[in-house]
Every structure is written in structure tokens, then in C-alpha cells.
Structure 1
Amino acid sequence: MKQQIRHDSSCFKLYGNRLTRIDARGDVTTYAYNNLNRLDTITYADGGTVTFGYDTAGRMTSAANPNGTVTFTLDPRSRVTGTTDVWGQAISYGYDHNNNRTSMTMGASQTTYLYGALDRLSSMTHNTMGATAFGYDSIRRLTYAKNGSNISIIKIQGEWIHVKIGLCIEPKLKIPKDFKLAAGRGTFSCAERNLERCRRFTYEGRKL
């Protein structure tokens, strides 16, 4: 029996704006634009809609659906400095001169971010959950994360792998030594440094 393959299809107008999208199930999504060719409304097959608002500079400042409206505040450099969700919860953001996010505040919760000379995130500190430090290899790939919650994170081939393991006291970990992901391959290794909870990762062919 031949496998039936169904594809999405889309229709575009003269200016390249998408007007409709039909998915593999035949559901139709339509798109409407204002006089300045900015996306105004998306209408889904079930009748749900999302409507967008803009400021005089053409920057998106709101998105509304039947559940409510999300609003965005932007600075002169078009960076989002604040959002308010459909429940009225406000979040504010701060940035450095290189456009790296340096802070995020939501009510009493505040997170600050520090960056190294190459604008790579070096640490993240939450006012109640403590600090997380990050390390990288010579080609800027994340190799470890350490914090008081003992959570390690690695990114290979565009996917995040979350690993939760205990302190590296035993020589053998209860995870595979070699682990394959798409075309990449990583090796988990462990290091004790002043009893800190630190997890290190090496990459095949590029040992740290």
C-alpha cells in the first residue's frame, strides 16, 4: 500500500504577504494586512483570531486573541523592555550596550545576566534561586552549567538536552558514556571542584 503524503500549501499576494495557509488536514488559516502591509489579523480554521497592534514606527506593540491582550513596550533601539500578559502580569527587561539582556523582573522575582568578552552568557543569578555559571569550548559550544540545583544542560545540533544527576562522587554515572544526537556525538564527563556541583561535557574529536 502506498503511503499518502499530504503537504501544506500557501497563497501569497503581490507584495509577498501570505494570504492563506492550508495544512495537511485541510484546515485553512487566513491572514489580513493593513494599508501599510503590516499583519493585522490571523484567522484560524476554528474561528479563533489574533489581532496585532503597532506604534507609529511600525513596531508590534500588542497581540490580542479571545483570551486577552499581550502588550509590548520598546525602547528607541526597538528592544522589548516590558511585556504585560493576558492576566496583567508585567515583566521588564534591561540590556547592555551590545543588546545583551542583563535583567528580567517579574514582580518580586528578578534575574540578572552577565556576559564574557565574546558576549557569551557567563552567569545567570536569580534573587531567590541562586546563580548558574556557564562554560564554553574554543568554538563557543556550551560545555557545562553549574548551580545549586545541580542541573546540567548541553546543546548539540540545535537541541537542548536536560540532564539531572547527583554529585559526581561515584566513578560511574547512571547515564550512557557515549550519547548520539543527529550527526553529533557527546561524551559526559564528571569533575569535582571544591565540592561544587559541576558537570562537564566533552565532544568527540574536540576534547577540552
Structure 2
Amino acid sequence: MTDILAQLPFDELVREVRACTICAESLPYGPRPIVQLSPSSRILVVGQAPGRRVHETGLPFNDPSGDRLRQWMGITRETFYDDRKLAILPMGFCYPGTGKSGDLPPRPECAPAWRSVLLERLTNIGLTLVIGQYAHAWHLPNGKKSVTENVKNWRKYWPDLLPMPHPSPRNNLWLRRNPWFEKEVIPELQKRVSELLSESDR
């Protein structure tokens, strides 16, 4: 199946992704894969999975987490939702539902089915933002360490990749305990984002 997908034209592959139902029986609100990408995308945002509001609107990071992420990146909503500049591929493409302590983890079927074949098509990515523990586990060589440890080691992956905490308001305590992140990392992030977007405008 992966070989067949790899041979599809880009637009057709994305249509296949958006029509995916492989874990429909496990999704309390049904499948609605939410991704954003184009062959020219310069920045890749890797989150966890869509939340309830994102599922309802069909727009990734259309919530307070997205507001903070855009602030961290130093970009407008218009730029953020321009797929020619920015791709968004969460670890799970559909809203997994809610558990006792918040949204459930991304469905485990999603990444093995789609991730590699999509990433191989994104040949112009200059920076990948890897957000939260599930994204760290997939994208970092030692990603199963704690989120804090991965983020503290951000220079190890820079400037091609940046491990990040989740921008959710639920992480306000983490940000208060780790003020170095917004003081040291965010200015470097904004500078790198600006460089890449300037290149894409040429």
C-alpha cells in the first residue's frame, strides 16, 4: 500500500489522506483528517492531534494553542494558514476524543499509515517544529525522554528541527517554571521563521 501511495500525484495523495477512515470505529466523533501541506511548504508544524474545536471547524490550531503558537513564531493567521509556506501534520489527523484528563492520545494507526509517505514529499522544509511528547517520540532520535529534557537539548537539533512544549494553556505552569524557553528559544525561532518565509517570497 505504501508503494502505491508513494507513486500518487501530490494532490491525489492528500485527497486519500483526507478520505481516510482506518480508525473510524475508534473515533467518537467520526473521522475528519485535518492536515495542511503543499510541495512548496517551508516550515512543518508537528502537533499531537486535533482538538474538539479544530474538529468542528476543520482548521488546524484554530484555538488558544494556535494563538500562542503563532505568537511564538511571530506570524499572522494569514501566513500560518498559507500551505505554500507552512505544512501542518499532527501525529494523529483526527480528533481522538476526550479522556479523564483532557484529549486522548493520537490514534496509533495514523502515523504508520501516512507519516513517512507524506514527509518524503515535503522536500522544501527548512524547519520542523516538533510539539509535545508523541511528536518528540516519533521525530527525535531520543524522543522518549521527557518533554522538558528534549526541549532543553534544542540546540542539538537546531536549525533544522525544534522540540517544543505544547502551546496549550494547560502548559502555563510549565512555561512559568521554564522561563528560559520564551526568553532564549523564541527569539531564535522567530528569526529562523522570518528567514525561511523571506526565502519563500522570492
TM-score by length of 2: 0.24
The structure where strand makes up a greater share of residues is 1
Q: Name the larger-Rg structure.
A: 1
Instruction: Specify which structure has the bigger relative contact order, considering alpha-carbon pairs within 8 angstroms and separated by 6 or more residues.
Output: 2
TM-score, normalised via structure 1 length: 0.23
More helix by share: 2
